[in-house]
A and B are shown apart, each in its own frame.
Chain A
Amino acid sequence: MNEKPDKLIDKKGIRLDGRKADELRPVKLQVGVLSHADGSAYIEHGKNKILVGVFGPREVHPKHLMQPDRMVLKVRYHMAPFSVQERKSPAPSRREVELSKVIKESLEPALFLELYPRTGVDVFIEVLQADGGTRCAAITAAALAIADAGVPMRDLVVGCAAGKVDDTVVLDLYDAEDKLGAADVPVAYMPALNAITLLQMDGILEPAEFEKAVGMAMEGCKKIYEMQKEALKTKYMVVKEVEE
């Protein structure tokens, strides 16, 4: 990366990538992009490119993980070696293990686990290109892929981060802001239920700034939520003409 610039936000409140403080990066969503997975989705969130495949409900492997009273959700968050500036070893890092866990726990509240005893659902997340905020974008896509697999859900889960750059609370940090900024607050949210299912933070925030960041992230989530619903409609609400 280049030298750290003096200011990440200019006098007019415009960020290095040209966005305003409360502006999202462009988001593109696609549902049903893999033919062999039971459900799948693809997200482009800024320069993040993430593919998610879902299998199940199906038998649990290995068998000892099977639960007699509920479904087992397994999540693997994995980054491609070419997804970042310096090649990342394909072996799972400690960061990926932790993210897999928190992403799983962000999706579980949306599922009726107790209605599918002795079964498992596997969610495979492959980050093809990373540019900050991959866990949030991955959650947005994973929720779509689970819905695409036909697994009943209480609500879609949306991920979006907010944070602090220079002295300003901003929405949806990209890589440079994440690395050089003061704090990053990834949030996952179920808008219809007003429920936060993932919340992490690193960096330093005053309690008031923290409250503002969570509020801003939730607003970002609501915007992406509309796009998620559109993406599902695009796949499932098309009327196809069948040729005789």
Chain B
Amino acid sequence: MSSLVTKVRLKQIEQLLEKGKRLDDRGLLDTREIKIEQGLIEKAEGSARVFLGKTEVLVGVKVGLGEPFPDTPNDGVLTVNAELVPLASPNFEPGPPDESSIELARVVDRGIRESKCVDTEKLCIEPGKKVFVVFVDIYVLNHDGNLIDAAALAAMAALINTKMPNYEIKDGELKMKQGYTQLPLKSHPITVTTGKINNRLIIDPWIEEEQVMDSRITFATKEDGTICAIQKGGSSYFTPQQILEASKIALDKAAELRKKLDW
């Protein structure tokens, strides 16, 4: 967007925020409507599509076999990747992942990994040699703002939906059996991003707000009210008080969402 349009829009958004309002009629701490569909990609072991307002993110989970990392021989492997698909926004271009998609993938990864959400020990088949590898691929299909929260939600919904193939070991040989079991999960992290516009905090910023936003801060939290991942982004700062306020907002909103989703 041209800088002039941005400046006019910023003025408008700031004036609304002073009255506690937003361009799309939400309150400062209201999330857009959330819709989750699970299991829509039959060829993937798990999948989910999340709508956060008009933002649309599809996550597919593939489960394969591979070797564990040498420093964690008893753990399965989890990898998270994100694609900002060019059809999702005029600003996305085809090509190797840029810093935005790498950051998106790594922030979602951190929430899942640090919360010990996937029970990787149960994904070990033969210590040091063979483990299950869980690939979480985030596909952004429509970018209308707050990709981090939408992608984290979709990744979690897809992991809940994931089934692993049954197997047995006969005479030292790995054999796949009929049927599937649920991917073992230990917790369900929920991610809430707070944006700062002219020293006011809002949650779930949509694209018009993101374009004029000073900075954002993302908190991933667990069922027990602990924090498991944080990421600040954007070219501005937060005061220590704003950080604490954002952490409280994130914990409250996560609890609210948790109740709604029954996670």
| Interface footprint category on A | 35 or more
In the assembled complex, the Cα of A237 lies from the Cα of B227 at a distance in Å of 45
Q: Given A97-B99, A100-B99: A201 and B230 within 8 A (CB)?
A: yes
Within the complex, what minimum Cβ distance (angstroms) separates A215 from chain B? Answer: 8
Q: Cβ of B185 < 8 Å from any Cβ of A?
A: no
Q: Cβ of A18 < 8 Å from any Cβ of B?
A: no
Contact mask for chain A residues 100-131; partner B; CB cutoff 8 A; 1 contact, 0 none:
11100100110001000000000000000000
Q: Which of B92-146 contact A (CB under 8 A)?
A: 97, 99-100, 102-103, 105-106, 110, 113-115
Q: Cβ of A206 < 8 Å from any Cβ of B?
A: yes
Contacting chain A: which of B17-25, B31-39, B83-91, B231-239?
Answer: B231-239
Q: In the complex the two chains form, is A196's CB within 8 Å of B222's CB?
A: no
Within the complex, what minimum Cβ distance (angstroms) separates A143 from chain B? Answer: 14
Contacting chain B: which of A6-14, A23-31, A187-195?
Answer: A187-195
In the assembled complex, the Cα of A232 lies from the Cα of B65 at a distance in Å of 55
Q: In the complex the two chains form, is A98's CB within 8 Å of B102's CB?
A: yes
In-complex Cβ contact of B99 among A101, A108, A196, A201 (8 A): A101
In the assembled complex, the Cα of A107 lies from the Cα of B166 at a distance in Å of 50
Closest to A106 in B: B232
Within the complex, what minimum Cβ distance (angstroms) separates B242 from chain A? Answer: 8
Report chain B residues within 8 Å CB of A95.
Answer: 106
Q: In the complex the two chains form, is B237's CB within 8 Å of A193's CB?
A: yes
Q: Cβ of A203 < 8 Å from any Cβ of B?
A: yes
Q: Cβ of A199 < 8 Å from any Cβ of B?
A: yes
Q: How many residues of B contact A (CB 8 A)?
A: 36
Report chain A residues within 8 Å CB of B3.
Answer: 68-69
In the assembled complex, the Cα of A193 lies from the Cα of B237 at a distance in Å of 10
Report chain B residues within 8 Å CB of A62.
Answer: none
Q: In the complex the two chains form, is A199's CB within 8 Å of B238's CB?
A: yes
Q: Cβ of B217 < 8 Å from any Cβ of A?
A: yes
Q: Cβ of B55 < 8 Å from any Cβ of A?
A: no
Report chain B residues within 8 Å CB of A195.
Answer: 237-239
In-complex Cβ contact of B230 among A98, A101, A200 (8 A): A200
Within the complex, what minimum Cβ distance (angstroms) separates B28 from chain A? Answer: 21
Extra contacts besides A101-B103, A201-B230, A214-B244 (18): CB < 8 Å = A94-B102, A95-B106, A97-B103, A98-B103, A98-B106, A102-B231, A105-B233, A109-B236, A113-B235, A196-B237, A196-B239, A197-B237, A198-B232, A199-B243, A207-B225, A207-B226, A207-B227, A207-B247
Interface of B toward A, CB cutoff 8 Å = 3, 97, 99-100, 102-103, 105-106, 110, 113-115, 215, 217, 222, 225-240, 243-244, 247-248, 251
**The 3 nearest A-B residue pairs measured at CB:** A195-B237, A201-B230, A108-B235
